[in-house]
């Protein structure tokens, strides 16, 4: 993680701590699926995406014992987002919560969920084709070496911590089996979860065939996050600051840092996942536990001011959320 971004996030967190007491693998801790002008599809795509009808998951009417919402978080630059009380489902703040937007590497939450459900007791040989995939899309890479063998659990760490597209490719082609079959499973699972305004065209959120081919809404991403965080395996991985594999039989040494800049800098942060492409902006799914309150949320489209832009927006929203009082 870059020190300046960590210090900014930490400073935002300290404001309430007392009272509420696509990139390369060579840059661990700041790993996102990359996107730039040269990668965009030449096909014309819409500059805005459609508004989805309100989802039943949003609960805005206060109930007895609920949090009293007063005002709104200030200085948030994200184009859309939502914050909720994880215990009750009460929505505390939202902006464009039902509008579809590209979601970049937040896509990998669904990929991880399917891999976990498929079982992690596999040893997987890294295929040579992964190098071409990473090169074609200038994708973020965990530096996986063809011919080496890693466990599915190891690759899941690369997927979720380093946001590695090579890990996404290997897992998708293994658990599909094949890319097409895996993407079909992603969309079928989304439908079963009632995510009617979510669509996947890749296992990693890379901008193909266009920047807008993989999309969702903040409200539906919140629901997907809640499902994923119910998995002890998923929950334990996204809370880790880094993951290291010593050199061993069949593989070399690997080290991957967590791209989520809230982890280790914002008190109580336990996940969840980062994302970035040019069209999506900086995106972050997050969950924080402080005292008896657990807040879960998402920001989409934070500006490209630095790799910590999503975390900085999330910190502002969380500071406000933890400052709210309960009714009664």
- Concatenated DSSP letters for 137-166? HT-------TT-EEEHHHHHHHHHTS--HH
For the segment 72-83, the average pLDDT, to the nearest whole number, is 98
Number of domains in the chain: 1
Per residue in 50-74, pLDDT (tens digit) is 334 344 445 444 444 489 999 999 9
The domain in which residue 31 lies consists of 3-40+51-326
Three-state secondary-structure class, residue 282: strand
Per residue in 196-224, pLDDT (tens digit) is 999 999 999 999 999 999 999 999 999 99
Assess if residue 212 is contained within a domain: yes
pLDDT of 62 reads: 43
Q: Which residues are catalytic?
A: 105, 108, 163
Tell me the C-alpha to C-alpha distance, in Å, between residue 165 and each of 111, 144, 155, 326: 11, 10, 10, 42
Task: Identify the residue with better confidence: 33 or 310.
Answer: 310
CATH number of domain containing 186: 3.40.710.10
Assess if residue 46 is contained within a domain: no
Assess if residue 45 is contained within a domain: no
Helices (H), the chain: 3-17, 108-118, 129-137, 152-160, 165-175, 179-192, 218-228, 232-238, 309-323
Assess if residue 250 is contained within a domain: yes
Instruction: Provide the 8-state DSSP code for 95.
Output: E
Query: 212 in the Ramachandran plot: left (φ > 0), alpha (ψ -120 to 50) or beta?
Result: alpha
Backbone φ, ψ for residue 28 (5° rounding): -60, 145
- Concatenated DSSP letters for 48-87? S-PBPPPPTT-B-S--TTPEEP-S--SS---SEEEEEETT
How far is Cα 177 from Cα 166, in angstroms, rounded to an integer? 16
In this prediction, what percent of the chain has a pLDDT beyond 70? 80
Per residue in 221-231, pLDDT (tens digit) is 999 999 999 99
**219 contact partners, CB below 8 Å, separation of at least 6:** 54, 55, 57, 58, 82, 94, 97, 98
Backbone φ, ψ for residue 57 (5° rounding): -70, -20
Q: Are 269 and 288 in contact (CB under 8 A)?
A: yes
pLDDT of 45 reads: 29
**Residue 33: is the preceding peptide bond cis (ω within 30°)?**
no
Res 314 pLDDT > 90 = yes
Assess if residue 138 is contained within a domain: yes
The residue behind tokens 């050199």 is: 247
How far is Cα 16 from Cα 227, in angstroms, rounded to an integer? 28
Instruction: Provide the 8-state DSSP code for 248.
Output: B
How far is Cα 82 from Cα 284, in angstroms, rounded to an integer? 11
Please state the length of the chain. Answer: 328
Per residue in 231-245, pLDDT (tens digit) is 999 999 999 999 999
Res 48 pLDDT > 70 = no
How far is Cα 52 from Cα 60, in angstroms, rounded to an integer? 17
């Amino acid at each position: 993680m870059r020190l300046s971004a960590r210090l900014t996030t930490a400073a935002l967190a300290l404001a309430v701590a007392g009272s509420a007491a696509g990139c390369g693998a060579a840059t661990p801790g700041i790993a996102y699926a990359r996107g730039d002008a040269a990668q965009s599809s030449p096909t014309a795509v819409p500059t805005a995406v459609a508004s989805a009808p309100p989802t039943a998951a949003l609960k805005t009417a206060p109930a007895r014992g609920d949090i009293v919402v007063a005002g709104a978080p200030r200085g948030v630059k994200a184009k859309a987002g939502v914050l909720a009380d994880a215990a009750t489902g009460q929505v505390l703040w939202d902006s464009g919560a039902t509008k579809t937007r590209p979601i970049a590497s937040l896509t990998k939450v669904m990929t991880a969920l399917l891999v976990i459900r498929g079982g992690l007791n596999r040893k997987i040989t890294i295929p040579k084709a992964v190098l071409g995939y990473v090169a074609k899309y200038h994708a973020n890479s965990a530096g996986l070496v063809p011919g080496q063998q890693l466990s599915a659990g190891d690759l899941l760490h690369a997927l979720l911590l380093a946001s590695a597209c090579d890990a996404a490719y290997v897992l998708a082609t293994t658990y599909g089996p094949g890319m097409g079959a895996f993407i079909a499973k992603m969309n079928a699972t989304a439908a079963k979860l009632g995510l009617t305004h979510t669509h996947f065209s890749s296992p990693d959120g890379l901008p193909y065939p266009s920047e807008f081919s993989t999309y969702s809404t903040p409200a539906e991403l919140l629901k997907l996050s809640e499902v994923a965080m119910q998995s002890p395996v998923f929950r334990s991985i996204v809370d880790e600051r880094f993951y290291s594999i010593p050199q061993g039989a069949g593989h070399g040494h690997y080290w991957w840092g967590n791209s989520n800049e809230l982890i280790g800098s914002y008190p109580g942060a336990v996940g969840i996942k980062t994302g970035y492409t040019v069209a999506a902006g900086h995106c972050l799914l997050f969950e924080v536990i402080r005292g008896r309150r657990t807040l879960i949320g998402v920001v989409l489209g934070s500006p490209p001011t630095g790799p910590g832009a999503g975390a900085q927006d999330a910190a502002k929203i969380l500071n406000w959320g933890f400052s709210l009082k309960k009714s009664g």
